Amino acid sequence: MNYRHAFHAGNFADVLKHAVLCLCLERLNAKPAPYRIIDTHAGVGSYDLGGEEAERSPEWREAVGRLWVAGGGAPPDVISALAPYMTQLHRLNPDGALRVYPGSPQLAALMMREQDALRLCELHPETCVRLKETIGRDRRVRIEERNGFDALAAYLPPPERRGLVLVDPPFEEIASGRKADFDRMIVSAKKAVRRWPGGIYLFWRPLKDLEAVEDFDGRMATVLIEEMGVAADKLLVVDLWVRAPGPGPLAGAGLLICNPPFGLEEKLRALLPWLAQALDQTPAGSGISEAGWRVVSAVPEPEGA
Ligand SMILES: C[S@@+](CC[C@H](N)C(=O)[O-])C[C@H]1O[C@@H](n2cnc3c(N)ncnc32)[C@H](O)[C@@H]1O
């Protein structure tokens, strides 16, 4: 377990994941009934963009850093799609300089109401201590130092019967060619959706090995649609790439979403073309842009499934 999210906080993958998370929470906030957020791979919760780790790998400068500067000039439908996310960034950075970047736990805590609950798992002991320092005193929050994949089923269904699950593993094995987190995600998705078919689920995955991603999406579609009875139009994939995806440094990532809230797809279709252009990292001299996006509803099952 060597992964440290501080090196990547605020990069393009975080921007997409966190913008989607905030759009989902905005929808949940539209009704007064309480809900619960379960974040199986929480990280430290909040990041200092001037800190040593962020400085050593300033991925955020080319992503949330650009958004911080350019976001205000975006067309109205883009501003509207980014609003729940940008509002939280502005709350944390009120003097206009971007220094604090919220992880998913802090974004959740900022957006949820008094009546809502947040359950967090973080397996790395030191990271978990820092997470508790960041957010542990909030009485709406419970943090466990345990394996989020294993814990998930035990949290479901939540007593509120409304809410969201974020599954955001580090995919460390990708570097060595193994893809264990894809398989773990499918196993825990199956158990979770069986116990709580009505939840909103966000499954994050990197776009590195595109065949592996296609295989994962297809297997998830088979499990969720055929085995769990989820309607095909309740699956949505959103992907963003800032350079040509492939092996090497992360150039693309996205989410497979089960039970997306009403209106999410439309917001993403408005946001993604602008975001891909704004966060484009095509190497100089390439001529044509390598950045791109896709929003796919009713994820196809693999052939012969
Ligand atoms: C990608 S980061 C999470 C980022 C966070 N969700 C966010 O958006 O701000 C993944 C985290 O999962 C932790 N982790 C790795 N394996 C885990 C497991 N099996 N269960 C829970 N946490 C795990 C890592 O220590 C790391 O902090």
Q: Which atom of ligand 1 is nearest to the CA of 105?
A: 9
List the domain boundaries for the chain: 5-282+289-297
**Ligand 1 in reach of 147 Cβ (< 6 A):** yes
Instruction: Report the separation in Å between the CA atom of 43 and the middle of ligand 1, taken as the mean of its atom positions.
Output: 5
User: Measuring from atom 9 of ligand 1, which residue has the nearest CA?
Assistant: 103
CA of 122 to the centre of ligand 1 (A): 6
List, for residues 29-56, the tens digit of each pLDDT value: 999 999 999 999 999 999 999 888 777 7
Cα 181 to Cα 166: distance, rounded to the nearest angstrom: 14
- Pocket of ligand 1 contains residue 122 by CB under 6 Å: yes
Active site members = 168
Cβ–ligand 1 distance for 123 under 6 Å, the answer yes
How confident is the model over 61-107, as pLDDT tens digits? 999 999 999 878 999 999 999 999 999 999 999 999 999 999 999 99
CATH number of 5-282+289-297: 3.40.50.150
Model pLDDT, residue 287: 84
Residue 73 Cα to ligand 1 midpoint, Å, equals 33
Q: How deeply is 148 buried, as exposed, middle or buried, from its count of CB atoms within 10 A (0-12, 13-18, 19+)?
A: buried
